[in-house]
């Protein structure tokens, strides 16, 4: 892959990768470092990037794994459950697991369409315009559905 092709394909995805890293690491500096590590890794393997059909998905998976590796290095014992960082004493770990379990149950209580839209917006970090393109729904409808999903989640939690 040429430098120009790399810049045209991979650099515009930087914001998406940063959102994923920030969501996982919950720290701006760490998220920026993780994205920088991702781009170094991508650049070093640029000869193989021509075969990647979905750069957004591929890079998203790579940044997720880089963030999990960072968390593992910072956690004594390096143990994680389902991608969640364990920070602090064991009783905090239990609280985090219970909260995560509660959020999962609450998400299951949402209508399928709201769950899908909320996931696209919050977890995947897609803009309303990107969701609109993927789903064919109007931007206003998406905003309303995401808002309703958030309100319902608050009620369920």
pLDDT in tens, 93-125: 566 667 777 777 878 888 999 889 988 887 788
- DSSP letter at 13 equals G
Residue 63: count other Cβ atoms within 10 Å of its Cβ: 27
Residue 111: count other Cβ atoms within 10 Å of its Cβ: 12
User: Residue 86 pLDDT more than 50?
Assistant: no
Assign domain 1-77 to a CATH class.
Answer: mainly alpha
Would you say the pTM of this structure is higher than 0.75?
A: no
pLDDT in tens, 1-21: 899 999 999 999 999 999 999
Collapsing DSSP to helix, strand or coil, 84 comes out as: strand
List the single range of 15-19, 22-26, 31-35, 135-139 with lowest mean pLDDT: 22-26
Domain 86-157: CATH architecture, name and number where available: Orthogonal Bundle (1.10)
Helices 90-108 and 139-156, packing angle to 10 deg: 130
Question: 79 falls in which pLDDT band (50, 70, 90)?
Answer: very low
Domain positions in the chain are 1-77, 86-157
Least Cα distance to 20 among 49, 61, 55 occurs for 61
């Amino acid at each position: 892959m040429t430098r120009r092709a790399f810049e045209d394909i991979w650099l515009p995805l930087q914001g998406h990768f940063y959102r994923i890293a920030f969501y996982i690491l919950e720290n701006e500096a760490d998220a920026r470092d993780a994205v920088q590590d991702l781009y170094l890794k991508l650049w070093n393997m640029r000869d193989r990037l021509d075969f990647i059909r979905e750069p957004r998905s591929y890079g998203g998976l790579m940044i997720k794994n880089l963030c999990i590796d960072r968390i593992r290095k910072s956690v004594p014992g390096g143990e994680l459950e389902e991608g969640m960082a364990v920070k602090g004493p064991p009783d905090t770990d239990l609280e985090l697991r219970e909260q995560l379990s509660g959020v999962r149950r609450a998400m299951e209580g949402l209508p399928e369409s709201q769950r899908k839209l909320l996931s696209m917006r919050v977890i995947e970090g897609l803009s309303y315009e990107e969701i609109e393109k993927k789903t064919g729904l109007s931007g206003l409808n998406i905003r309303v559905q995401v808002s309703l999903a958030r309100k319902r989640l608050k009620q369920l939690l």
